[in-house]
DNA sequence: TACTATCGGATAGTTACACTGTCCATTCTG
DNA sequence: CAGAATGGACAGTGTAACTATCCGATAGTA
């Protein structure tokens, strides 16, 4: 297929596809003449993957390039590719150098029985979050993390099972990428749905106790319009 | 305090603080003269909150404005404020109008015993995720969602308990905001830590079975440097 | 073969966002 | 009282992600 069909089947404008080609997010098509190229299903799939990473995952073009590089590297183990993807997902890596927050983060990971890796991106991000919470006077937020870990543990096992169920290594690599990027988005959404539900139930219960009919009628009004 | 001290205590440059004032993210200081203003602890805290939303949460300035508006609205219930915050967190709301994906999303929420609210932002985001997974040929990804829901359910209860533990309504509102924005970031990090740990364990186990020493030595090399 | 639409490729331009810099009259500080 | 800092207005900057225009060269149709 030619570039126009690639565009039609994905909804991505032709100039944008050309831009991705320039940026190395898409491999060049097979040249049939000096200025005619043909694209295949691989390009189609890759283009969709790029859009998923950009739109759902919110990755920058540069981050997408890194992720795709890891995907295409036949040397990389699943475990390592996971690291590359996660590095691309997290934002800018600052180093606040807050002793107390660092110690709290360390205590947390060790309490979970996890290895303390102070220079990993994930650990730095954790310190960042704790610093932010502390600056805002929410020291008790840290206590929430243990609950998070309790929820995250089976999820991590599930993610791995899913990735290892892939028939080929390439498929497994892609699942790791999507499991991270789509998975984060999906979990955030599911969490919101769960919270909305729980919040609604509790509000109803509180209202029943107070016999407050007035509040009930506009309970879910703001999410019905549009 | 004056603007310079606000800047010093938060690390935010003075021109940026002026910009936030212009954009309505910070309330104006108390004017002591036609061109002198004084700022208090409220401004300091609000500025830190803005930075947290922007840097950790990745919100745009416009989204921050919306969130703060909900925070400052004394009429809003916790339940409603939650909706506003979540709307600010999600990206652009497209409408892919994919019948199959929509049906799958509906089946999922109803399987969870949740109310089917097809026009809520969360549901739309869910449809988006499913569409993306399907386009990429990962239909089985949808099966992962039930596991996500199992993990999200106690988390939602925990979030609510935490929010309702706040002494005042204003404090509860802020916890809702931070619980959403910081909470998403925190959970993503914790999930990564858990996955890294699980992946490492399995890789070790696999290596032990295969007695493959060569692979072991570079197992965690890529995360030790830098 | 003519003729028109489309192609690939290169280059330049646009838009949106989040700041950042400059100016000036006024006010604080030593 | 002198020199630094302030608030406020407004213009400028940098970056990221496209988007538009141009070109000569096919591709498809008649």
pLDDT of B47: 97
Q: Is the pLDDT of residue A163 over 80?
A: yes
Q: Is the pLDDT of residue A91 over 70?
A: no
Residues 22-51 of A with CB under 7 A from strand C: 22, 28-29, 31, 35-39
pLDDT of A54: 95
Cα–Cα dist A168/A74, whole Å: 12
pLDDT of B79: 85
Cα–Cα dist B109/B128, whole Å: 14
Q: Which of B46, B36, B33 is nearest to B6 (CA)?
A: B46
Residue among B86, B120, B198 whose CB faces A156 most closely: B198
Write the pLDDT tens digit of every residue in B32-54.
988 899 999 999 999 999 999 99
How far off is chain B from A34, nearest CA to CA, in Å? 31
Write the pLDDT tens digit of every residue in B107-126.
999 999 999 999 998 999 99
What residue spans of chain B are helical by DSSP H?
3-10, 14-22, 41-51, 61-72, 78-89, 99-111, 121-135, 141-164, 169-210, 213-216
Write the pLDDT tens digit of every residue in A109-159.
999 999 999 999 899 999 999 999 999 999 999 999 999 999 999 999 999
Separation in Å: C4 C1' and A5 CA: 20
Count how many Cα atoms sit within 13 Å of the Cα of residue A210 in the half-sphere of its side chain: 11
Mean pLDDT of chain A: 88
Domain ranges of chain A: 3-56
pLDDT of B92: 60
In chain B, the residue whose alpha carbon lies closest to the alpha carbon of A153 is B194
Q: Is the pLDDT of residue A78 over 50?
A: yes
Token pair 């919470």 is found at A133
Mean pLDDT in residue range B194-204: 84
Mean pLDDT in residue range B9-37: 94
Tell the burial category of A179 from Cβ atoms under 10 Å away from its Cβ (0-12, 13-18, 19+): buried
Residue A162 structure tokens: 């899913």
Cα–Cα dist B216/B157, whole Å: 41
Write the pLDDT tens digit of every residue in B89-103.
876 666 678 999 999
Phi-psi region of B130 (alpha: psi -120 to 50; beta: other; left: phi over 0): alpha
Q: Is the pLDDT of residue A219 over 50?
A: no
- Residue scoring higher pLDDT (A76 or A66): A66
Mean pLDDT in residue range B4-27: 96
Cα–Cα dist B74/B70, whole Å: 8
Residue among B58, B129, B222 whose CB faces A186 most closely: B129
Per-residue pLDDT band at A214 (split at 50, 70, 90): very low
């Amino acid at each position: 297929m030619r570039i126009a069909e690639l565009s039609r089947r994905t909804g991505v404008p032709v100039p944008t596809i050309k831009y991705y080609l320039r940026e190395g997010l898409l491999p060049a098509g097979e040249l049939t003449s000096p200025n005619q190229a043909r694209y295949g299903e691989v390009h189609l799939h890759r283009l969709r993957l790029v859009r998923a990473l950009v739109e759902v995952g919110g990755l920058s073009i540069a981050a997408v390039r890194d992720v795709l590089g890891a995907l295409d590297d036949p040397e990389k183990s699943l475990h390592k590719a996971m690291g590359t993807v996660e590095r691309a997902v997290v934002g800018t890596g600052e180093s606040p150098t807050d002793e107390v927050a660092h110690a709290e983060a360390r205590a947390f990971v060790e309490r979970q029985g996890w290895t303390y890796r102070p220079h990993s991106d994930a650990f730095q991000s954790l310190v960042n979050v704790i610093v932010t919470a502390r600056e805002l006077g929410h020291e008790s937020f840290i206590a929430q993390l243990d609950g998070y870990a309790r929820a995250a543990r089976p999820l991590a096992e599930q993610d791995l099972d899913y990735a290892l169920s892939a028939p080929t290594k390439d498929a497994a690599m892609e699942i790791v990428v999507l499991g991270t990027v789509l998975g984060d988005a999906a979990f955030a959404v599911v969490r919101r749905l769960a919270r909305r539900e729980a919040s609604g139930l509790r509000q109803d219960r509180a209202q029943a106790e107070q016999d407050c009919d007035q509040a009930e009628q506009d309970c879910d009004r703001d999410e019905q319009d549009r």
